[in-house]
Amino acid sequence: MTTINIRDFSFMKIKKIFFLVTLCYSASSMAAFTGNENKQLSEINMKSQSIVENVVRALDKAVKDQVDNNPEKKEQISSLRSSWDVTTQKKCQLETFESKGTDAEIATTNNCLLKGYQTEVDYFNNMLP
């Protein structure tokens, strides 16, 4: 029986969301820009996605460290992480509603996710053992 670690699942889910947003956005924006402008926009979006992915990795590490330091709280820590991730994603959907379909959609969404995940990292890194 194969088990999926909660942080691996969260990271896979986040990557899937980023890919789908990028794919949908890129397809709709291609007609409005020249090749060079599309390339620049794509580079900006890829960079912002990379930054968010790095923060998610830091979050995974912070959660793992807390689980290692507090094995008796593993279930509560994992549950908090999952709930917090969902809250961050829904919050960002709401906060970036106005940018939907614009050139800034991906970067705005990634900026929101970055802030939310960084708050989680800070919390888990500062938890008392």
Per-residue pLDDT tens over the stretch 51-95: 999 999 999 999 999 999 999 999 999 999 999 999 999 999 999
Residue-level pLDDT at 62: 97
Whether residue 52 contacts residue 21, with contact meaning beta carbons closer than 8 Å, is answered with: no
Dump pLDDT digits (tens) for 108-125: 999 999 999 999 999 999
Q: Which of 52, 32, 46 is nearest to 101 (CA)?
A: 32
Whether residue 121 contacts residue 58, with contact meaning beta carbons closer than 8 Å, is answered with: yes
pTM (whole model) above 0.85: no
Residue-level pLDDT at 2: 45
Residue-level pLDDT at 30: 47
Where does residue 3 rank: exposed (0-12), middle (13-18), buried (19+ CB within 10 A)? exposed
CATH architecture of the domain formed by 6-125: Up-down Bundle (1.20)
Domain segments of the chain as ranges: 6-125
- Flag whether pLDDT at 96 surpasses 80: yes
SS3 content of the chain, % helix, strand, coil (to 5): 85, 0, 15
